[in-house]
């Protein structure tokens, strides 16, 4: 899942080397924390959060484990 998030975001940003995705797993959920360069935050979020919502939709649709919910936090 990390590779999917990184590949989607890398095509959007100017500094793809600064992309960091960390994973936190709990009992009922898996949280992915996405960190990008400060200059690229607006590009990842998009106007009115549309790009962020689209990224989350793709990530949620691609989940493999049906028991845990997937969350994506953009920092």
CB of 22 within 8 A of CB of 30? Answer: no
What average pLDDT does the structure give for the chain?
92
Bridge partners, residue 71, by sequence: 31
Give me the pLDDT at residue 21, please.
97
Question: Which residue has 């500094």 as its token pair?
Answer: 15
Give me the sheet containing 69-74, strands edge to edge.
20-25, 29-35, 69-74
Is the pTM higher than 0.85? yes
Q: Which CATH number fits domain 2-74: 3.40.50.12370, 3.90.950.10, 3.30.300.20, 1.10.3210.10?
A: 3.30.300.20
Report the share of the chain in percent with pLDDT over 70: 97
- List the chain domain ranges: 2-74
Determine the angle formed by the axes of helices 50-61 and 2-10, rounding to 10 degrees: 150
């Amino acid at each position: 899942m990390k590779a999917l998030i990184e590949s989607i975001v890398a095509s959007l940003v100017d500094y793809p080397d600064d992309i960091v995705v960390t994973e936190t797993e709990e009992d009922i959920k898996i949280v992915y924390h996405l960190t990008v360069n400060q200059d690229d935050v607006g590009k990842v979020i998009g106007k009115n959060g549309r790009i962020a919502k689209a990224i989350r939709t793709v990530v949620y649709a691609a989940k493999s484990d049906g028991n845990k919910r997937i969350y994506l936090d953009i920092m």
